[in-house]
Amino acid sequence: MSPIQVYLKTTFIFYICIPLFPSYSFARLSEAESLNRLSRIPSAGHIRSAVRIAQQVRFRILHVVLFLCSWDETHFGKMGSYYINRTFFFDVHPPLGKMLIGLGMKKYELTGPGLVIILNGTHSAASFPLDTGCLTLSQYILLDPILMFFIMGAVLCMVKFHAISSRPFTFLWWLWLSLTGVNLAGAMGVKFVGLFAVVYVGLNTVRDLWTMMGNLSLTLVIFQHFAARVLCLILLPLVLYVVSFAVHFSVLNQSGPGDGFFSSSFQSRLIGNNLHNASMPEHLAYGSLITMKSLRTAAGYLHSHGHLYPEGVGARQQQVYPAAPVEFVHHGDIIRLEHKMTRRNLHSHHREAPLSKKHLQVTAYGTNGTGDTNDCWRIETSGGSGKVKVLRSQIRLQHLVTGCMLGSSGKALPKWGWEQGEVTCSPYHRETPSTQWNVEDHENPRLPNISVSILKPTFLEILVESHIVMVRANSGLKPKEHEVTSKPWHWPINFQGLRFSGVNETDIRIYLLGNPVIWWLNLICLGLFAFLALCAAVCLQRGIALSNHMKENCHVLLEGGGQLMVGWMLHYCPFYFMGRILYFHHYFPAMLFSCMLTGEFHLCILCGFLTYCSTSFTATFYPFSFYLFHPLAYGMVGSFADQAQSPMSGLRWMESWDF
């Protein structure tokens, strides 16, 4: 094994065990430089010790907190059991992480089976054993450890690929390039946050290709390099990502709690759903009895009650005003919808809706189908032509008098409206799911029935629909009343943790909080990096006389540290622009890069001046800080830390820590 291979293999061990030992950079080294750097790498004994420490903290979990079930664990554990039962469900994240959880389960009964925790512990091997935050995440049935594993795997494979860039198109070259793509597919398949890792690897790939273009001796070879990267870093991850959804849809073929989030045509493919193998007329005609469903995510049906305002609003199971002979409904037709039970017409007028003040009120009006011109609606189909087809046609209803669009506001009515969804007439004409509807059920004895199986969507259609639903639901996640949330600026400073379990003094309480020594050291190194990188760049650019060792450290700091800084920013900064609810655990992928940057800082700065002191600090103070804060991960019982008699009161270094 060459020195560069030993160096990179040892580097990956440090990626696993950081911040026990320093991390090393992405800089390409010569054989001589590698031998020089290897003298500073901890021995194999240190590596074995680090692995043993990781095993101890992981295996202790199985004996101490196996019986605890908290936070999102019930959420994802239940989803794992859905795969076993083949019951369809909906989640805002892609399916790969839940499928991996389901692989280690027989059933879910609130207490997670040991195999699942071991599986998550294996995925969390890229986390750091002495950080209480990583330890807390890795001992529960969550997606974050799996996501962090794939992100770190992608970074490792990218580094290994760069290390053998001088031997292009060899077996190992293809192997590490392909494994990079596999890990990127895994990261994307667990959470959409994995897209940040894709961007990170993509930027490094563009940089490599740009460097190659400077070599005028390469002509056709550049195209070959480009094609290889397109194949392994774009097509391969995309295929694997799509395959994960294909498996997801194939396994979950039974009707379940996730049906209502999707369109009627999507639901028709689920066994046990009312639309599965149902028969009905294909095209809507005058005189038909229909059920209309809103295309808004998780919205319901257009319906009504036999009560006057303010007790109810809207209409359900509408009946198109009959005419003879049979005449099909087309785009642009003016229709009147009559509620079957109350015999009142769908109606709107110039009055504000009960909740959405800029919208107009929608109600039921008239007696036995008779009303006025405010009962007339113009039907519009997506595409602007043709008949209205059940399940597949997306239609909008424009009020003939006011010009507004029938829609679902997404707000829940008060108790007088049974807390059901508000139906309004929207003044905004832009096509959105809020104002789009489809005909889900259709009865007309004068028309022949067809099996809705012929109207089932294709795999590509359900793949696109599932992503649209996931994105909309993700962006629509808002904090509930009294729910603890956090802001991105809280995360690097470890401002506030997240309570996983236990609310009383007699409960076993688990609290997600990073090891403050590790996190605050990471924060200091992030702040110093910009200054030191600027100094190093100026020194190299100005040709200032430096020793070979100093020049090497400057190059490593700029290249390796710069890439790590970019990785941290890509996984952290986008959260400032997200409108959805945010939690503390969203920072942990970025924390991986900040820990590696701390190791880079240790290597380039401290090892040159305070080798013995820095090693002693690493070997003693980090484990001691873990010893102090380990009850946060393993469980606390007794008084809260804000009480003087609590054994944890001395560890409440910030007032915002509510453990």
Condensed to tens digits (0 to 9), the pLDDT of residues 383-430 reads 777 888 888 888 898 898 888 988 887 777 776 666 677 788 888 877
What is the pLDDT at residue 135?
83
Tell me the residue type at 638: G
What is the phi-psi region of residue 271: left when phi exceeds 0, alpha when psi lies from -120 to 50, beta otherwise? beta
Tell me, yes or no, whether 193 and 57 share the same domain. yes
| Residue where a domain stops, chosen among 406, 432, 453 | 453
User: Model confidence over 279-330: pLDDT tens digits?
Assistant: 888 888 888 888 888 887 666 777 666 555 554 443 333 333 344 578 888 8
What is the pLDDT at residue 322?
41
Residue 272 lies in a domain: no
- Per-block average pLDDT, block size 10, for the chain (659 residues)? 33 34 35 38 43 49 46 71 86 88 62 38 43 82 88 90 88 93 94 93 89 73 87 94 93 86 85 85 87 75 61 39 67 86 83 82 77 85 82 88 85 69 83 84 87 85 90 78 77 85 73 86 86 79 70 76 89 88 88 85 63 60 78 77 72 78
Residue 221 lies in a domain: yes
d(CA 253, CA 260): 15
What is the pLDDT at residue 517?
85
Residue 156 lies in a domain: yes
Residue 546 lies in a domain: yes
Tell me, yes or no, whether 165 and 291 share the same domain. no
Tell me, yes or no, whether 448 and 521 share the same domain. no
Residue 477 lies in a domain: no
What is the pLDDT at residue 61?
43
What are the residues whose beta carbons fall under 8 Å from the beta carbon of 659, sequence distance 6 or more? 497, 499, 509, 511, 513, 632, 636, 640, 641, 648, 652
Residue 360 lies in a domain: yes
What is the pLDDT at residue 142?
84
Tell me, yes or no, whether 307 and 199 share the same domain. no
CATH classification at residue 338: 2.80.10.50
Tell me, yes or no, whether 366 and 508 share the same domain. no
Tell me, yes or no, whether 163 and 234 share the same domain. yes
Tell me, yes or no, whether 352 and 299 share the same domain. yes
What is the pLDDT at residue 94?
92
What is the pLDDT at residue 9?
37
Tell me, yes or no, whether 230 and 302 share the same domain. no
Residue 249 lies in a domain: no
What is the pLDDT at residue 85?
85
What is the pLDDT at residue 66?
43
Residue 500 lies in a domain: yes
Tell me, yes or no, whether 441 and 507 share the same domain. no
Contact (CB, 8 A) for 571 and 588: no
Count how many domains the chain has.
2
Tell me, yes or no, whether 182 and 94 share the same domain. yes
Both structure tokens of 615: 């090693």
What is the pLDDT at residue 278?
85
Where would I find the H helices in 340-458?
none
What is the pLDDT at residue 102?
81
The DSSP H or E segment spanning 203 is helix 194-213
Tell me, yes or no, whether 80 and 151 share the same domain. yes
Tell me, yes or no, whether 189 and 302 share the same domain. no
What is the pLDDT at residue 298?
61
What's the domain range around 518?
3-243+490-651
d(CA 593, CA 599): 10
What is the pLDDT at residue 590?
92
